[in-house]
Structure 1
Amino acid sequence: MKITGVDTFFVDVPLQAPVSPYQSRYICSTSTGALLIRIETDAGITGWGETPQRLSFQNAVSFTGAEADYFRPILLGKDPTDIAALYADWGMGEEPYRQSLVEMACWDILGKQAGLPLHRLLGGLYRDRVEVTCCMGIRGPEEAAAISKHYVDLGFSTLKTKAGRSPEEDLAMVRAIRDATGDRLNLRIDPNMGYTPEVALQLARDLEPYDLQYFEQPMHKDLLQESAEIRQQTTTPLALNESVTTMKNVRKILELDAAQYLLPDTYQCGGIWAVKLVGEVAASASVPCIFHCAHDLGLRTATMLHMAGSSPNFPLANDCTYYSLENDIITEPFEIKAGTITVPTKPGLGVDINEGMLKRYLVKSSVD
């Protein structure tokens, strides 16, 4: 089988309340942007991939109209089922966003060729429904309380909220959520590397009475020794996301005992197989993983479901903002019931593109 065609599409789908507006410490989002790729083969099989919008990537690729022009010289004539070669020989190892986009489409093609859903190729089904979080941007105490109660009513068990502008704001938000929902929600907060080690340590100690499930990436991604030291000085569990990139970094995190949980993602690690490897290596150190979310559409959500569905070491609720989308670009959008989603069972990623929705939310295409 050979790749005969490559097209790319930039789409942007509005978010709905209460997720929108989604305020992190550095940006406020009201939509989910993604770069999609469509790979065609001489066997008549088409694969799709998705990677999240990132400003530098978007400016360098999407808005210049050069997306497919970048990929075609690398991909045309290649066998998309040679996924190991994608990692080793196709020249995208330094571009995890781009590599993850292509790799997802290759797995989609391989699954369709084999007539098997992705989770079968990743080891088989371990759980047929995957638990997901509800997510919230930074909010004032009253809003945070109201939104958290709303999520409890919808049947979610886990809430993740953005943080990182100030420790006082974070504590007020956490206190309001706990006052409103008690222990009915597992609670996570994510400062997105917003604090120095000194501030992160004090905040972790101040958060101890509120029984967080974990405190995610409070400091810069390179401060692994500092993360290990904080773990020794507080009972608040520490999780790392931005630090989880290469296997070298993962090994260092585990050697230092710098995190109680890891949050790998395809666009940071370089693909589905890379996330699978992180999960397996972390399991050898008894460190559970959570699949990270970057405001995902249906393709990346499907990937998360296959990964978590096939991997015992993804036991907790995985990050998700899917329920906040106005719509999706797949034909049968996922349904969330009591905070869980069923793992797809059709071949490949198990989802099909809705061409009408693709056109509706299209911002820029290399073939427009």
Structure 2
Amino acid sequence: MLPTPLSKLPDIGGTIFTEMSALAQECHAINLGQGFPDYSPPEALIQAVSEAMFQGLNQYAPMAGLPQLRNAIASKLQSQHGHAYKAESDITVTAGATEALMCSLLALVHPGDEVLLIDPAYDLYEPAIRLAGGRAVRIPMHPPTEADPVFRMNWDRMLSALNPKTRMLVLNFPHNPTGVTLKSEDLDALESLIEKQPILLLSDEAYEHIVFDGCSQLSPVSRPALVEHTVLVSSFGKTFHATGWKVGYCCAPAHVMAEIRKVHQYTIFSVSTPMQAGIAAYLSRTDAFSGLSNFYQKKRDRLVSGLKKTRLQPMHSEGTFFLLVNMSALGQRLEKEMAVRLTREIGVASIPVSAFYAAPNRPESNHQLLRLCFAKQNSTLDLALERFSKL
């Protein structure tokens, strides 16, 4: 007999992304659900990784990451946000943003701690908090209305949720799934929050280089009052159309990073050496980030333009490679029911936004919204729009 209880997460099953991708495959549907491109990384980057392999860089990398890649990350962040991270002590290369987030939460959240999440929230956060022994406290955004058709932060409610058990706030901007970005007034609100109670900030910035309409990405690390409280996480996989490579990074003050590395070294120890070497070489040879926002904005605009000819109403996306659509013209029903129906009946898979809430089936989690991924070839987007036009 196995000991009971066996599971630490008895109510957690497969993710909505796995479920909808499997349904898309079963129905031979176009997968605009799970967030991965259907095109390859830059050829020069693939060549740089291949060169690293042929040069013999195929054994373990240093636990914290290759020095040349950490130096490149430090230089990028200095230029981007004006903060000088020390490559030796403040930066760790991780197995994607996922591992960076998991290690940060396991290292920094103690049993009984409360961690604030912004609803709708990416589905990794709460299970990781629970594994660390903490409790997630979810603070809903103001949902879109006809008069104000965007999600907005509820900072008053966030401030009122602070108590002696509050340990951390998880940020995710540009925001998945809503596409909202941080504004200067949001950073002001974060400064007020930190002044009231000096908690940690875990800032998931996986879509940092995908921000639209001439705007710049704002991060809490750009503010001196916030940077010492912040763990910044990002993803080369999202940036370079290489999600399967699973290479990301984590940045924090040295004394905080020392704790994160304690978990990292016993989780995977180190990340793929040729991938790290190839990315570092690619970054040294090219301006790798400058064209990304424009590249994705063209795809966003293509999808928006096509959707306006259908019964799905596109909402505004300020960043990420996701776009929300309002499906209320098709009738009022649970978002997941509609996502499954569209996959089966017209052959396009999406993700219900309700899946990012704690209780997906409740009315307050269902705003008649579906999330579409536009990180796809133009031919893929055009075929999906053709199918949507049949609604």
TM-score, shorter chain, exceeding 0.5: no
TM-score (normalizing by structure 2): 0.31
